Structure 1
Amino acid sequence: MRILAILAHPTEGSFNHAIAGTAVSKLRENGHEVTYHDLYAEKFDPLLSGEEIPKDAELDPFIEKHCKEIRDAYGIIIVHPNWWGQPPAILKGYVDRVIRAGVAYEFLEGDNGEGVPNGLLKAETAIVFNTSNTPEKRELDVFGDPLEAIWKNCIFGLCGVKNFYRKMYGVIVTSSINERQLWLEDVEKTVDKYFPPEK
């Protein structure tokens, strides 16, 4: 199965890098074809220009390549920290530029953009792994877990991905080596569950 994995964390050696590395290794161990992007390492340009917004816009070949990868993926894994209840700006820019009309969704004939779009992604499952320095109870009670709504409802649900799972690991800043090892084992189990070995 062709899986797309995206990492968005600026610090090499971060726990986000460990999560992404663990997920990618497990996917490959299970026999999947993996396309992996570390957006910061690759210096992905997150700025969406006005010229690029129209569905039929002429895209930079670099963005065309990313669009083809997400269009062709049968599964998606995203890894990023929780910053202000949102993904980092570089990942938001990836969403703006790549998960676009004609690639990830379309408006049906007669709909001028005011209705609910039709999802186009062929991916059946998307997983988002997050890290956070906010305790889970506070995240839910005070902030309402905005990342769940963003990824599940506003992005993947809208684009036709039927199975969605998100896991938040934290509190990172006070976590022990043992806790982190258990979390990485959980990443492996999650990948095994949603993207089991190819037969």
Structure 2
Amino acid sequence: MLISVVLAHPHRGSFNHAITETIIAALEECGHVVAFHDLYAENFDPLLPYDEIPRDAPLPPSVAAHCVEIAAADGLVVIHPDWWGMPPAILKGWIDRVLRPGVAYRFLEGDAGEGVPVGLLRAKAALVFNTSNTPQERELEVFGDPLERLWKDCICAFCGIPVVHRRMFSVVVTSTDGQRRAWLDEARRLAREVFPSDSA
């Protein structure tokens, strides 16, 4: 299987990077091909130009390459921190520019864009990891966990990915080395469960 892994965190020493390294290793141990993108390291431009909005618009080579890859992926893994209940702007820009009409979804003939689209992505599952410094109880009671709705309903279901698993690790800022090791073990197990070995 081809698994697309997308990371959005500006600090190379972050726990997000540790999660990513763990996930990539687990996927490769299961025999999968990993297409990895560290959006900050790649300096991905998150700004969606007006001329790029139409479905058949010409795309910069780097964006076109992302589109080809995500269209071919059998699975998706996304790792990012929870910033204001949202992904970092660089990841939101990746969503805007890469999960585009004709690549990730299309509207039925005669639909001018007001209806329910048909998802086009071939990925059968997505795995999303988030980090936060907000206790889980407060996240749910006060904020309602907006990232859950965003990834499951607004993005993955919209683009045709039927199965979405999401895990929030918190509170990271006060976590111990032992807690982080346990979280990485959990991330490794989830990756193997969601994307088992092709020979299994």
Number of positions where the alignment pairs a residue of Structure 1 with one of Structure 2: 199
Aligned partner of 2:59 in structure 1 is 59
Structure 2 distance, partners of 1:116, 1:143, is: 27
Letter in 1 for 2:87: P
Q: Answer yes or no: is 1:95 the counterpart of 2:95.
A: yes
Aligned partner of 2:140 in structure 1 is 140
User: How many angstroms does 1:6 deviate by?
Assistant: 0.3
Structure 2 distance, partners of 1:146, 1:194, is: 23
Letter in 1 for 2:40: Y
User: How many angstroms does 1:109 deviate by?
Assistant: 0.5
Structure 1 distance, partners of 2:37, 2:56, is: 25
User: How many angstroms does 1:154 deviate by?
Assistant: 0.4
1:110-161 superposed Cα distances (whole Å, 9 cap, x missing partner)? 1111101000000000010000000111001000110011111000011110
Structure 2 distance, partners of 1:93, 1:145, is: 21
Letter in 2 for 1:184: L
1:52-87 superposed Cα distances (whole Å, 9 cap, x missing partner)? 000010101111000001000000000000000000
Structure 2 distance, partners of 1:164, 1:12, is: 26
Letter in 2 for 1:72: A
The equivalences for 1:151-162 within 5 A come to 151-162=151-162
- What residue ranges of structure 1 are gaps of 5+ in the alignment? none
Letter in 2 for 1:28: E
Aligned partner of 1:182 in structure 2 is 182
User: How many angstroms does 1:27 deviate by?
Assistant: 0.2
Aligned partner of 2:15 in structure 1 is 15
With normalisation by structure 1, the TM-score equals 0.99
Q: Structure 1 runs of 4+ off > 2 angstroms?
A: none
The equivalences for 1:19-168 within 5 A come to 19-168=19-168
Aligned partner of 2:197 in structure 1 is 197
User: How many angstroms does 1:7 deviate by?
Assistant: 0.3
Structure 2 distance, partners of 1:198, 1:177, is: 33
Structure 2 distance, partners of 1:99, 1:120, is: 10
Structure 1 distance, partners of 2:188, 2:95, is: 25
Aligned to 1:167, the other structure's residue is in SS state strand
User: How many angstroms does 1:197 deviate by?
Assistant: 1.4
